[in-house]
Structure 1
Amino acid sequence: MSLLRIDSSIRTQGSVSREVLDSLERSYLESDPGAQVVRRDLGLDPIAPTTWAAAVAAGMTPEDERTAEQREAVATAAALADELAAATAVVIGSPLYNFGIAAHLKSWVDLLITDARFAPGSTPLAGTPVVLVVSRGGGYGPGTPREGWDHATGWITRILRDVWGADVTVVEAELTLAEVVPAMAELRPLAAQKRAEAHEAAAKLGVALRAS
């Protein structure tokens, strides 16, 4: 068995999505210290913005006429597809940035879709458990002023579940900016509660993933 961990936060310190993924990975390894974890950090090692465009262009160009950049882009897409297809379980950190998906995570998805195995119409992750750890600086739940402003979680969930066929579980941590934004000071107890609940849920899922 192998667990593929995808981080996309641009922060290495103070990142809630990274912290919650740490809890999941820790419980996963505690249940079997010899288990394999493959890590891809899109925040620290992002995919070049031009790679997706080059891969798309390569798909419309005869193989013997492709440029070096196009060949490299196709090879990168294939490597990412190999990595994801080989995983028996996947965990993804998805922080909400400007009400949308992290650019690094979007680039990863876009490039994967250029590989025939992950193109729409295929279900390469059918039966594969995927845990999506979502972190949001504010509150976006029902009844809040910004209900419906999270344009990231629905999109990435649809890609994972409806396009690729994965069995998706979402873990959410909200109000993550309460500790640093004075105007949110009164929400700090609720923020701490939500963070603790996310860690607890992630730890349980780490054990469940290893047992599945």
Structure 2
Amino acid sequence: MATLLHIDSALVPDESASASRAVTAAFAKSWLEQHPEGKIVYRDLAASPVPHINIAAVGAGADDPLRAELAAELAEADAVLIGAPMYNFTIASTLKAWLDQVIINGFNSGPDSKVTDTPFTIVASRGGSYAPGTPRESFEFVQNYLEKVLTGMLGITDIDFIVPELTLAHSVETMSELIPLAEASREKAHTDAAEKAKALAARFVA
């Protein structure tokens, strides 16, 4: 039985009002439909945030109870799904806190990492567009940061991004002309979530 570790970090609790939660929910639903015997371990970092790391936890490493629990969830996961909306050009502080707690040098970080082959799917939603060639391309610190920290600290080799963008087009008057593009991006994100989840689940079906 394969396990999907599903993490949400959007501040908005309702998936009908949160682009990242809606897409991660669609991904998880498709994954279970294809792999009904699978298991999902879920963490909502907005509803139940983990504490920011302190010097005692750093010193304790994998002997710290919370860090050990989080690291065990990661180690036992066959795949990881993260909802990572953009706030002020980067990830939510709750997601950063989770990363700081779960990455333990000498335990799952470094040359002997046991999670290098774990596939990560990240839903990186954002209110505007930060795609290559756009005026704000250089302000994109969600995909860039997560790719660097996951590859550089955990040695992850399989990272896939789903990027619903222009999510503020419906609520910001000056972006109203971008609504068709926002709708197209939303539709593509949901399609990608269903298809990528299906493909991922197929890896674990005997």
- For the structure 1 residues 152 and 52, does the alpha-carbon distance in structure 2 shift closer, same or farther, using more than 3 Å as the test? farther
Quote the offset at 1:89 in angstroms.
Answer: 0.7
Report the count of equivalent residues: 198
Q: For 2:11, what is the secondary structure of its paired residue?
A: coil
Quote the offset at 1:121 in angstroms.
Answer: 3.8
Deviates more, 1:99-108 or 1:137-146: 137-146
Q: Which amino acid aligns with 1:7?
A: D
TM-score under structure 1 length normalisation: 0.88
Q: Which residue of 2 aligns with 1:114?
A: 104
Tell whether 2:200 aligns with 1:209: yes
Q: Deviations over 1:175-210 (max 9, x none)?
A: 011111111100011001001101111111111111
Give the unaligned 5+ runs of structure 1: 60-70
User: What is the root-mean-square deviation of aligned Cα atoms in Å?
Assistant: 1.6
Instruction: Write the distance in 1 (CA, Å) between the matches of 2:58 and 2:120.
Output: 26
Instruction: Write the distance in 2 (CA, Å) between the matches of 1:111 and 1:4.
Output: 16
CA contact (8 A) 1:3 1:36 kept: yes
Q: Which amino acid aligns with 1:211?
A: A
Quote the offset at 1:115 in angstroms.
Answer: 5.6
Q: Which residue of 2 aligns with 1:137?
A: 127
Give the unaligned 5+ runs of structure 2: none
Structure with the higher helix share, 1 or 2:
1
Identical positions, percent: 41
Q: Which residue of 2 aligns with 1:64?
A: none
Which is higher, the Rg of structure 1 or of structure 2? 1
CA contact (8 A) 1:52 1:111 kept: no
Equivalent of 1:48 in 41, 48, 51: 51
Q: Which amino acid aligns with 2:10?
A: S
Q: Which residue of 2 aligns with 1:186?
A: 177
Instruction: Write the distance in 2 (CA, Å) between the matches of 1:138 and 1:40.
Output: 26
Quote the offset at 1:57 in angstroms.
Answer: 4.2
Deviates more, 1:112-121 or 1:196-205: 112-121
Q: Which residue of 2 aligns with 1:67?
A: none
TM-score under structure 2 length normalisation: 0.90
Instruction: Write the distance in 2 (CA, Å) between the matches of 1:210 and 1:89.
Output: 9
Quote the offset at 1:152 in angstroms.
Answer: 2.0
Q: For 2:163, what is the secondary structure of its paired residue?
A: strand
Instruction: Write the distance in 1 (CA, Å) between the matches of 2:182 and 2:55.
Output: 40
Q: For 1:194, what is the secondary structure of its paired residue?
A: helix
Q: Which amino acid aligns with 1:27?
A: S
Q: For 1:100, what is the secondary structure of its paired residue?
A: coil
Q: For 1:92, what is the secondary structure of its paired residue?
A: strand
Q: Which residue of 1 aligns with 2:167?
A: 176
Tell whether 2:151 aligns with 1:153: no
Q: Which residue of 1 aligns with 2:8?
A: 7
- For the structure 1 residues 127 and 186, does the alpha-carbon distance in structure 2 shift closer, same or farther, using more than 3 Å as the test? same
Equivalent of 1:162 in 130, 152, 159: 152
Tell whether 2:67 aligns with 1:77: yes
Aligned pairs (5 A) from 1:27-42: 27-42=30-45
